[in-house]
Amino acid sequence: MSKNKIKIQVGDKFKLIEFDRNQSFQQLIQAISNQTNMKNIRFLQYIDDEKDWIHMTSDIELKEAFDSFGGEYLTIKFQGELAEKIQEQPKSTEEISITIIPINEDSKLELKRGQQKQFRWLISNQGTENIEGDVAFTFVGGDKLSKQEQIHVEKLSPKEPIEISVNVEAPQKTGRFISFWRIKIAGESYGNKGWIDLTVK
């Protein structure tokens, strides 16, 4: 089995556990519950490679968490007030799961210096409730390749993907540039990252 060490933040203290990265999100919930004696855990956050706390609610997001962390431990926390935040924005008691897929197929672009091109994604709400309010597709790190940093999303309806586009402008120098984007709800990050992998010739 592929064991990884997970550091669980409980208040101002930490617990260290071993977890098989091939196990499911629900099995991770159970492992944390067993180690902390906490029940009814539904929402977790982990620190990604850009030091942001990211919500994790599914097997796909758990895999991304293991793939993205660069430290010795994957650090995870859960907070009592977290469920309240999610219930307030959007108004739903459900877990939030968002999927971002590049329409450009492989997230890669090849442009000349100063050339402009529109890059597009499909954003899908995998839950059963509308997500609306303070929702935005947001630049979260890497190389700044667009004058746009945040695109407001009026509503994400269940199982009805919407298209979001970003106007990319290639830098005035050659090389490889990567820009990361994410859905944010009331300032909190959800779902997998969208990215632009740009080569300038």
- CATH code assigned at 62: 3.10.20.90
CA distance 79 to 53: 12
In a domain, 137, yes or no: yes
Say if residues 195 and 107 touch (Cβ distance below 8 Å): yes
For the record, the structure tokens of 78 come out as 């859960």
Cβ-proximal residues to 93 (8 Å cutoff; 6+ apart), any chain: 86, 87
pLDDT, mean of residues 138-148: 93
Whether residues 106 and 55 share a domain: the answer is no
CA distance 117 to 38: 49
Res. 102: pLDDT tops 60: yes
Res. 133: pLDDT tops 60: yes
Res. 109: pLDDT tops 60: yes
Domain range holding 36? 3-88
Domain boundary among 26, 57, 88: 88
In a domain, 129, yes or no: yes
Length of the chain equals 201
Q: Which residue has the higher pLDDT, 11 or 26?
A: 26
In a domain, 115, yes or no: yes
Give the pLDDT confidence of 112-130 residue by residue, as tens digits: 999 999 998 889 888 888 8
In a domain, 49, yes or no: yes
Domain boundary among 65, 88, 111: 88
Write phi, then psi, for 170 (nearest 5 degrees).
-65, 140
Angle between helices 25-36 and 59-68 (to 10 degrees): 80
- Tell me which of 40-44, 55-59, 130-134, 150-154 is least confident: 40-44
Res. 70: pLDDT tops 70: no
In a domain, 113, yes or no: yes
For residue 52, the model assigns a pLDDT of 77
Whether residues 22 and 62 share a domain: the answer is yes
For residue 92, the model assigns a pLDDT of 41
Res. 19: pLDDT tops 90: no
Average pLDDT of the chain to the nearest whole number = 80
In a domain, 93, yes or no: no
Whether residues 72 and 119 share a domain: the answer is no
